Structure 1
Amino acid sequence: MTAAPPVGGGAAVSVDAWTGSGPVTGAFAADVRPWLGGPFAFAERTARPAPADPWDWRHPDVGWGLVAREPDGLSQADLVAATDLPADVHRLVAARAGRIFRYRPGGAYASWTLVDHAGGAQPFLPASPAGADAGELPAFLLIYGSPADVPWSVQYILNPVRYVGRLDLEGPALTRYVDAVLDDWSGSAAQWSAPVVWAVDHQAGEITTLMRDVVAEPLARAMGEDAELAPTFLDGRVAPATVAGLTAALTQHRPAVVVTSSHGQTGPLGDLAAMGADLGKPVDQQHALLDPDALLRSWDPDGAIWFAQACCSAGADSPSAYDRLFTGDLAATFARVAALGAVTSPLPRALLGAPKPLRAFVGHVEPTLDWTLAFPPNVQPLTSQLRAALYERLFLGRPVGYAMEPWYRPIGALLQGYQAAERENQTTFGAAARASLDLMVYSRVTAHDRASTVILGDPAVAVPAPPPGG
């Protein structure tokens, strides 16, 4: 293709018009400046508001709200005023300009609806419009209270359709966390550019190797390829990933983002009190537990966000979602953990309530199965959404609730697959039915694993990214 001749000065030009007898051709005027100086205007389009950024919780089309259990015996006036909630919670709601929603236990639709007493509404969780007005359900929701007060199931239902966190603190710990939120961790020493990734790998044909390969290493590699970041990767395949090594790295580098993968403590099975005290604590390569009290003596979380790939790192539920699915040691372990009731694990509670609190903790309720990390037929890793969440979005300064949205996105498709396999299983008999039965189990387990990855802390908090070139 030859270059077009310069415009103006009588240059030849043709157009896509047909007179009936031939194409239309001609030439530019010798002097095009009068045309260029003439009016240039189009009718204005009807003005339409620009859509809100989905991570902007301050926007009225997005909004922020609080979910709390509705106690018995309060008058309507007391429920509107939320007289049962601590002063620190009221401070946070006021600062977030939030609406308060109530979970009503025992009702037929208790897990599917919340009550907004001030707004006179009862939104349906999966499909209510987002926003800050009465009748709407804000996109950002903070559940206040233990999972015994507001069940984990409410958080699971909300995770695919809202940005949800939970704050299970009281007393001075609650005050410290709310103070930090309202002050936005001003003066924090946490370093955006210095993430720490810690991966136990026992290299014994068990799940720590898989977690290292599909969770920790891909994140460490993505961070390492970013010219603005200088991650520390404590790789258990290279050298033992120990509690001491992790503590030293946190103390030295003061990361704003921490990623750990390891077993989570679920014993001793014969001592519920001891198991509850250690539930979900990361277990290092020498089988030592990460003790939050010891860690806090040398490291301040100071606004960091921590993702822990470990069994029960966020908590436990009762009954277990996997009740009657397994036999042997798995069944016995799940049953004993469930005997603890619905609880939040001690590590995130300690870090979120510390003198210089953690911003947010992302972890699992109950275990993660190797099945859900890699698709069994072809061993395809299923964790790419963690890269989008914990690297691409989090390091752009997006709120942690919004950052985790890609992780929850496949839940709907997995449940659709479950229903399709269920229909197939009902019309197929004998050995041929096995494949659809397996797909039903796989789809349901994987959907639950995604939904039961939970955020502890306010979902609107974000690690501030430095300005471009800063």
Structure 2
Amino acid sequence: MTADDATDPTLPARDAPALVEGYTLVADAWTGAGEPAGEFARDLRPTTDLVLGERTMRPTPYDAWDWRSPKVGWALVAREPEGLSRQELVELVDLPGDVRRLVEARGGRVFRYRPGTTHADWTLTDYTNGMQPFTPAAPAGAGADQLPMFLLIYGAPALVPWRIQFILNPVRYVGRLDLEGAALTRYVDALLGEWKDSAARWSSPVVWAVDHQVGEITTLMRDVVAQPIHDAFAGDHELRPTFLDGRSAPATIATLTAALAEHRPALVVSSSHGQTGPLGDLEAMRADLGKPVDHHHALLDPAALLEAWQPDGAVWFAQACCSAGADSPTAYEGLVAGDLAATLRRVAELGALCAPLPRALLGADKPLRAFVGHVEPTFNWTLEFPPNRAQLTDSLRRSLYERLFAGLPVGYSMEPHYDPIGSLLQAYRNAEKEYQVTFGDAARVPLETTLYNRITAHDRASTVILGDPTVAIPPPPARDGTAPLTTTGRS
């Protein structure tokens, strides 16, 4: 400090007291004998969140839906084939070139599914990092000792079983890609290109609801799935939804096809029966499994549909039996009887597989982004609570409208639908224990509660995503200029 500096009023005087150490501190209090005075404590660290000379350790906020974040992450799950060395597994020699280039482009990790181990009936192993997570409670993220939140299963359910997807659904955002050859190439090209030139219209969702109005499940599905979702769309001034309401006029394959071709929706919602016959011809049943059944019991033919309309980046939610595929054995063995039991056993003879409609749409010339549907059936029991007929489907409205239409990834968007699974399974176990110590007529209630919670939990877990779980429908900026939640590169 120079002599001139000593008189500069912006600088402290030479004899000014220290800022903290040795500073006499007084307060505007009066004790009756005088004002209390003191000094700062010698060690200030215990009194503050700040650590002197160090960075704060507060958690850094992040978007739970941003798969690119190291705290979220994306990875591939694939079958571990027999006979390959660790190095061959690391080099992905068994996987198609399109899958390898997807993993490389995303800088992702690969976890190998293997059935039958010492401490569990299946494991996931990352051979590159030497990591084998305890899956349900594994730490989340892209780190070497973590299991990413977004997981894409590659392969048919015969290679990586449906139950792996069911178990992961409540704790991760999971999709499945069961495509080969040119269909796989088209999907990966579109995914890596983020459907850049998609003509799908965010503002024009299409809802198609069959209602036979004869007291069967199509009426219930129309009322508790299709109608509430359409009403959410219709209440949004930015959307112009089309509702092909089977209560007003027959919901046919022709009207659905025409609406898709005209409106080019970014989201399709359908509710109908799903084909599970003829029971006497397994090959015919395999070819038509899960196809939507219209008012006149005609089936949606994927090839004919794709001649009139290309998905081109749309997402399809299908409320229909086996719309996503079948499993073997059926999860409902021993729980149902009559024609339903016979139908489920016969469908299970097909083995575990993906349904033909989503495979055709995901592998189309201009592919679908994602398909959300059911493995096996959904029951009227799980759509509304029988004692008071309370609807149990609001999670679908929240998933498809409040999240998906906000531009969030489909895997993250379906989280509200999976959230109740843990609670349902806990209630199932509690009722099971109560039943074991209850006798006579009183045992009926816990037995029925056990059954209800078990079936409802499985119904939600077996609602699956086909396609990559990171895909999102990018919304335009809001009319008030607000930017969408997602941006190019996060969809």
TM-score by length of structure 1 reads 0.90
- SS across alignment from 2:207: strand
Q: Is the contact between residue 207 and residue 370 of structure 1 (CA under 8 Å) also seen in structure 2?
A: yes
What is the deviation of 1:107? 2.7
Equivalent position of 2:64 in the other structure:
54
- SS across alignment from 1:65: strand
Which of residues 443, 461, 466 is equivalent to 1:433? 443
Equivalent position of 2:167 in the other structure:
157
| Closer/same/farther in 2, CA of residues 267 and 108 from structure 1, 3 Å limit | farther
Q: Deviations over 1:186-223 (max 9, x none)?
A: 11100000000000011111111110010000000010
Find the structure with the greater CA-based Rg.
2
What is the 5 A alignment of 1:182-201? 182-201=192-211
Equivalent position of 1:465 in the other structure:
475
- SS across alignment from 2:123: coil
Q: Does 1:246 align with 2:245?
A: no
Q: Does 1:180 align with 2:190?
A: yes
What is the deviation of 1:467? 1.6
Structure 2, unpaired ranges of 5+: 1-27, 33-48, 482-491
Q: Which amino acid aligns with 2:92?
A: A
Q: Is the contact between residue 175 and residue 467 of structure 2 (CA under 8 Å) also seen in structure 1?
A: yes
- SS across alignment from 1:269: coil
State the identity %: 70
Which of residues 396, 402, 423 is equivalent to 1:392? 402
Q: Which amino acid aligns with 1:359?
A: R
For 2:297 and 2:306, the matched residues in 1 are separated by 20
Equivalent position of 2:45 in the other structure:
none
Q: Report the count of equivalent residues.
A: 434
Structure 1 window deviating more from structure 2 (103-112 vs 127-136): it is 103-112
Q: Is the contact between residue 74 and residue 151 of structure 2 (CA under 8 Å) also seen in structure 1?
A: yes
- SS across alignment from 2:124: coil
Q: Does 1:367 align with 2:392?
A: no
| Closer/same/farther in 2, CA of residues 193 and 108 from structure 1, 3 Å limit | farther
Q: Deviations over 1:318-377 (max 9, x none)?
A: 000011212210111001100000000000000000000000000000000101000111
What is the deviation of 1:95? 1.8
Q: Does 1:292 align with 2:302?
A: yes
Q: Does 1:275 align with 2:285?
A: yes
Equivalent position of 1:347 in the other structure:
357
What is the 5 A alignment of 1:22-421? 46=56, 48-108=58-118, 113-421=123-431
RMSD: 1.5
Q: Does 1:442 align with 2:452?
A: yes
- SS across alignment from 1:133: coil
For 2:239 and 2:144, the matched residues in 1 are separated by 43
For 1:273 and 1:125, the matched residues in 2 are separated by 36
Q: Which amino acid aligns with 2:381?
A: W
| Closer/same/farther in 2, CA of residues 111 and 395 from structure 1, 3 Å limit | farther
What is the deviation of 1:468? 2.4
For 2:105 and 2:316, the matched residues in 1 are separated by 24
| Closer/same/farther in 2, CA of residues 51 and 109 from structure 1, 3 Å limit | farther
- SS across alignment from 2:116: coil
Q: Which amino acid aligns with 2:281?
A: D
Q: Deviations over 1:411-430 (max 9, x none)?
A: 00000100110111011101
Q: Deviations over 1:292-320 (max 9, x none)?
A: 00000000000000000000000000000
Q: Is the contact between residue 303 and residue 359 of structure 1 (CA under 8 Å) also seen in structure 2?
A: yes
Q: Deviations over 1:408-458 (max 9, x none)?
A: 000000001001101110111011000000000000000000000000000
For 1:235 and 1:124, the matched residues in 2 are separated by 46
For 2:31 and 2:384, the matched residues in 1 are separated by 66
What is the deviation of 1:110? 5.5
What is the deviation of 1:49? 4.6
Q: Which amino acid aligns with 1:154?
A: I
- SS across alignment from 2:401: helix
What is the deviation of 1:258? 0.5
Structure 1 window deviating more from structure 2 (48-57 vs 377-386): it is 48-57
What is the deviation of 1:106? 2.9
Equivalent position of 1:29 in the other structure:
none
For 1:349 and 1:273, the matched residues in 2 are separated by 17
Equivalent position of 2:16 in the other structure:
none
Structure 1 window deviating more from structure 2 (377-386 vs 112-121): it is 112-121
- SS across alignment from 1:297: helix
Structure 1 window deviating more from structure 2 (319-328 vs 167-176): it is 319-328
For 1:384 and 1:111, the matched residues in 2 are separated by 34
Equivalent position of 1:452 in the other structure:
462
- SS across alignment from 2:75: strand
Q: Which amino acid aligns with 1:129?
A: P
TM-score by length of structure 2 reads 0.86
| Closer/same/farther in 2, CA of residues 105 and 43 from structure 1, 3 Å limit | closer
- SS across alignment from 1:77: helix
**Large movers: runs of 4+ above 3 Å:** 17-21, 42-45, 108-112
- SS across alignment from 1:137: coil
For 1:194 and 1:80, the matched residues in 2 are separated by 44
Q: Which amino acid aligns with 1:210?
A: L
- SS across alignment from 1:312: coil
Q: Is the contact between residue 390 and residue 404 of structure 1 (CA under 8 Å) also seen in structure 2?
A: yes
Q: Which amino acid aligns with 1:468?
A: A
What is the deviation of 1:113? 2.8
Q: Deviations over 1:166-202 (max 9, x none)?
A: 0000000000000000111111100000000000011
